[in-house]
A and B are shown apart, each in its own frame.
Chain A
Amino acid sequence: MPFGNTHNQLKMKYSAAQEFPDLSKHNNHMAKVLTMEMYERLRDKQTPSGFTLDDVIQTGVDNPGHPFIMTVGCVAGDEESYELFKDLLDPIIKDRHGGYKPTDKHKTDLNPDHLKGGDDLDPNYVLSSRVRTGRSIRGFCLPPHCSRGERRTIEKLSIDGNSLDGDLKGKYYALKNMTEEEQQRLIDDHFLFDKPVSPLLLASGMARDWPDARGIWHNDSKTFLVWVNEEDHLRVISMQKGGNMKEVFTRFCTGLTKIEALFKQKGHEFMWNEHLGYVLTCPSNLGTGLRGGVHVKLPNLSKHEKFGDILKKLRLQKRGTGGVDTAAVGGVFDVSNADRLGFSEVELVQMVIDGVKLLVEMEKKLEKGQPIDDLMPSQK
């Protein structure tokens, strides 16, 4: 809606060549895929809510690229974006999600009983376990495009929708009504999210009207957490200290299922389809939107020359414990699944469980000065 692209007809006064962005210094998925011909074909289109191609790509135009990470460079403004601009988004999805084709179907599986093991990751090495995903409410525009009225309605639905009980019973803290003490406590618990500072997010318009209609819900035991109206409508997080990933995943699935039921009671559902799974703002989070991971101590293994290769074969990625783009501190890494789309939730968490088990085994061997060559995994 904002950011000067609502006046699509104004742009049509100029030719596609005059409007085409200069992507000569860019290195992101959008810049790799967007040609002049594609731009010409798509630039006069808009979704029913008024989101245009230029809105989709603005963040990728403004952010030429990260030196080490290939960013996506585009966002959706609503569910229809993925359909209307598929000529651009399908190749990006394919490139980002390991060859996922426009005809592929995505499997959703949120049944924790299908998980094998996962309750016994060694807590001497695995310090904490966490699973997160996102959900979008069908019929509303996404954070880059939503109006204040829409965002507030999503917040209202999320607050009402969170009348959960038992282990999930909790409270909502609106960012703009928070007291000083509440704010400090949420910071100490590592729950509080701040106004985005990354230019990747700011350039897409997600931080407009901050902190209006943003907030955090969490249960009393602080193991289940929902962010409202940050980068997506909802970000859902289940976490706890130690290595019982099975318990974390079970709570995750139970919580999501209950939240979904509460929304349905009010006549709302999540954005989902057979091809793309759960629909979120960034194409990198399609499918499961799931990142399941642990903070794990691997001081020896992380220095091994094959560490990166092992992770790759296990379909895992490492980050520092501050999240994406931070460095590891004291040999402790955040290890999580690399994939999002084309695998079910159970499959991805299983990969994390099996993979982390192996990594810890390797670490223990290296501690004792033993070789790990016979433990090398094959490509999953």
Chain B
Amino acid sequence: MASTFARVFSSRARRVGILSLVGAGSLATGFFFNRDYVGAASQQRKLYPPSAEYPDLRKHNNCMASQLTPAIYARLCDKATPNGFTLDQAIQTGVDNPGHPFIKTVGMVAGDEESYEVFAEIFDPVIKERHNGYDPQTMTHPTDLDASKIRSGQFDERYVLSSRVRTGRSIRGLSLPPACTRAERREVERVVVDALNGLQGDLKGRYYSLTQMTEQEQQQLIDDHFLFDKPVSPLLTCAGMARDWPDARGIWHNDQKTFLIWINEEDHTRVISMEKGGNMKRVFERFCKGLQEVERLIQEKGWEFMWNERLGYILTCPSNLGTGLRAGVHVKLPRLSKDARLQKILNNLRLQKRGTGGVDTAAVGSTFDISNLDRLGKSEVELVQIVVDGVNYLIDCEKRLEKGQDIRIPPPISQFK
């Protein structure tokens, strides 16, 4: 069964030659890695034209599949970010997951901050589709974390059971979860935990590493509904985010359990402020204070968050760009939940409903999770105010229905489309 190839390997002298060639090759390709990594590697792979590599997206229904034409693919498939992240890696999750029947998924992820630049030709139209016409090429995203601007942020607690605001933050200079190496991921953990340990007052807390947690700590975190598990959703696992689990993953929370940070799950960090009851203003105040404190602490050590004017805060999934913010409540709406106009009311208020188990769960006993739909193009303050105004409106509708009065569909909030 000898072939040219087998003969090469059986010849000892040439075997040494081949191995040292590979060794030297890694150094040579190191130069190429920064400019044209995939091109260098593909010299030794079978070369196929982009048309032979273009994914079959005919049964797909996600934003990537809607926007990725063969022409765009051909122009981008040989490119790589300075870290070596490629288009194929970015779109793998969308190729592997044709689509959710009811929710149009995004279908692509970033491996690093530069992905959004190098692959702008596909990311920009995806962002535009997902974020209701926001055009990264012409628009700028406002950031505003001044919680004092919130008006009427205290809800009627006969209806609102709990309030919560979450976002994510990425550490500039380190690759994102789909692409990061183990050392990078550990570095994210080190940098963030180091900063969190500097928090004082009502923010003071503790870190629980997933690899070192005791049984009791684990049970406590489960009982508190804080513990996150290894992702099972193929949307996430196909993007490579679950590699090396549970290495460098963990949860930090303050002593009062009202400020919580997930490390190295779907993003470098997910930041959550929450409490029982309806004081959304206080939840948002703690949220802003915590974020600003953490930012100050990492800057002291020479680090910063990924952010730019075009896209706001940079996160793994394009759906979380801008503010990355989801502000919401668990609210009881027994009468309104049966009203056929509810969805239209929510649409016009720029709100979405979910079951109380999170995205894709069903509502239990007419208690809903109501939160903002938008992430990009409006500031944090604007979005939280939209939630405050919207939830107050819904509660008002519920009260009217209680009294047998009629309700009105509100006019739609303006978009920038």
Chain A residues with a Cβ under 8 A of chain B: 1-4, 6-15, 18-22, 44-50, 54, 58, 61-62, 79, 83-84, 138-141, 147-150, 152-153, 176, 202-203, 207-210, 212, 269-270, 272-274
List the A residue with the shortest CB-CB distance to B29.
A9
Contacts A14-B184, A58-B243, A138-B3; A1 near B22 (Cβ below 8 A): no
| CB-defined A-B contacts under 8 Å, sample of 18 | A2-B88, A4-B179, A9-B33, A10-B84, A21-B244, A22-B211, A49-B45, A50-B41, A61-B243, A62-B242, A62-B245, A79-B5, A84-B22, A147-B53, A149-B52, A149-B53, A269-B3, A273-B6
Contact (Cβ within 8 A) A49 B44: yes
Chain B residues with a Cβ under 8 A of chain A: 1, 3, 5-6, 9-10, 15, 19, 22-23, 25-26, 29-30, 33, 37-38, 41, 44-46, 48, 52-56, 59, 80, 83-86, 88-89, 92, 95-96, 111, 175, 178-184, 186-187, 211, 237-238, 240, 242-245, 247
> CA separation between A48 and B92, bound complex, in Å?
23
Contact (Cβ within 8 A) B243 A212: no
Q: What B residues does A209 contact at CB under 8 A?
A: 55, 92, 95-96
Contacts A84-B22, A152-B52; A2 near B184 (Cβ below 8 A): no
Contact (Cβ within 8 A) A212 B26: no
List the A residue with the shortest CB-CB distance to B5.
A138
Q: What A residues does B95 contact at CB under 8 A?
A: 208-209, 212
Q: What A residues does B23 contact at CB under 8 A?
A: 44-45
Q: Which 8 A-B pairs have the closest CB atoms?
A: A7-B84, A149-B48, A14-B183, A48-B44, A18-B183, A149-B52, A50-B41, A4-B179
- Given A2-B240, A6-B86, 9 new contacts (CB under 8 A): A4-B111, A7-B85, A10-B84, A46-B25, A47-B22, A83-B15, A138-B3, A147-B45, A148-B53
Chain A nearest CB: distance from B291 CB in Å?
28
Q: What B residues does A147 contact at CB under 8 A?
A: 45-46, 48, 53, 88
Contact (Cβ within 8 A) A3 B240: yes
* Option from A14, A44, A210 in Cβ contact (under 8 Å) with B181: A14
> CA separation between A45 and B29, bound complex, in Å?
11
Chain A nearest CB: distance from B316 CB in Å?
12
Q: What A residues does B9 contact at CB under 8 A?
A: 83, 273
Name which of A20, A62, A141 has the most chain B CB atoms within 10 A of its CB: A62
Contact (Cβ within 8 A) A50 B45: yes
> CA separation between A317 and B64, bound complex, in Å?
47
Q: What B residues does A150 contact at CB under 8 A?
A: 45-46, 48
Contacts A18-B183, A45-B23; A148 near B55 (Cβ below 8 A): yes
Contact (Cβ within 8 A) B46 A269: no
Contacts A2-B88, A148-B55; A19 near B26 (Cβ below 8 A): no
> CA separation between A298 and B43, bound complex, in Å?
56
> CA separation between A107 and B284, bound complex, in Å?
71
Chain A nearest CB: distance from B333 CB in Å?
39
Contact (Cβ within 8 A) A7 B83: yes
Q: What A residues does B83 contact at CB under 8 A?
A: 7, 10
Q: What B residues does A46 contact at CB under 8 A?
A: 22, 25-26
Chain A nearest CB: distance from B37 CB in Å?
7
Q: What A residues does B55 contact at CB under 8 A?
A: 148, 209, 212
Chain A nearest CB: distance from B94 CB in Å?
11
> CA separation between A136 and B278, bound complex, in Å?
62
Q: What A residues does B85 contact at CB under 8 A?
A: 4, 6-7
Q: What B residues does A272 contact at CB under 8 A?
A: 1
* Option from B3, B22, B33, B92 in Cβ contact (under 8 Å) with A2: B92
> CA separation between A272 and B3, bound complex, in Å?
10
Q: What B residues does A48 contact at CB under 8 A?
A: 22, 25, 44-45
Chain B nearest CB: distance from A46 CB in Å?
6
Contact (Cβ within 8 A) B244 A4: no
> CA separation between A20 and B247, bound complex, in Å?
11
> CA separation between A3 and B38, bound complex, in Å?
14
List the A residue with the shortest CB-CB distance to B58.
A176
Contact (Cβ within 8 A) B88 A1: yes
Contact (Cβ within 8 A) A4 B243: yes
Contact (Cβ within 8 A) A61 B244: yes
Contact (Cβ within 8 A) B48 A4: no
Contact (Cβ within 8 A) B26 A45: yes
* Option from B1, B26, B45 in Cβ contact (under 8 Å) with A269: B1
> CA separation between A15 and B48, bound complex, in Å?
35
Chain A nearest CB: distance from B92 CB in Å?
5
List the B residue with the shortest CB-CB distance to A6.
B84
> CA separation between A11 and B56, bound complex, in Å?
32
> CA separation between A69 and B15, bound complex, in Å?
36
Contact (Cβ within 8 A) B33 A7: yes
Contact (Cβ within 8 A) B96 A22: no
Contact (Cβ within 8 A) A208 B96: yes
List the B residue with the shortest CB-CB distance to A260.
B1
Q: What B residues does A44 contact at CB under 8 A?
A: 23, 26
Q: What B residues does A152 contact at CB under 8 A?
A: 52
List the B residue with the shortest CB-CB distance to A211.
B56
Chain A nearest CB: distance from B64 CB in Å?
14
Chain A nearest CB: distance from B351 CB in Å?
36
Q: What B residues does A6 contact at CB under 8 A?
A: 37-38, 41, 80, 84-86, 89
Contact (Cβ within 8 A) B48 A202: no
> CA separation between A176 and B245, bound complex, in Å?
32
Q: What A residues does B15 contact at CB under 8 A?
A: 83
Chain B nearest CB: distance from A330 CB in Å?
33
Contact (Cβ within 8 A) A62 B46: no
Contact (Cβ within 8 A) B92 A4: no
Contact (Cβ within 8 A) A19 B96: no
Contacts A4-B180, A269-B3; A62 near B37 (Cβ below 8 A): no
Chain A nearest CB: distance from B2 CB in Å?
9
> CA separation between A83 and B183, bound complex, in Å?
27
Q: What A residues does B26 contact at CB under 8 A?
A: 8-9, 44-46
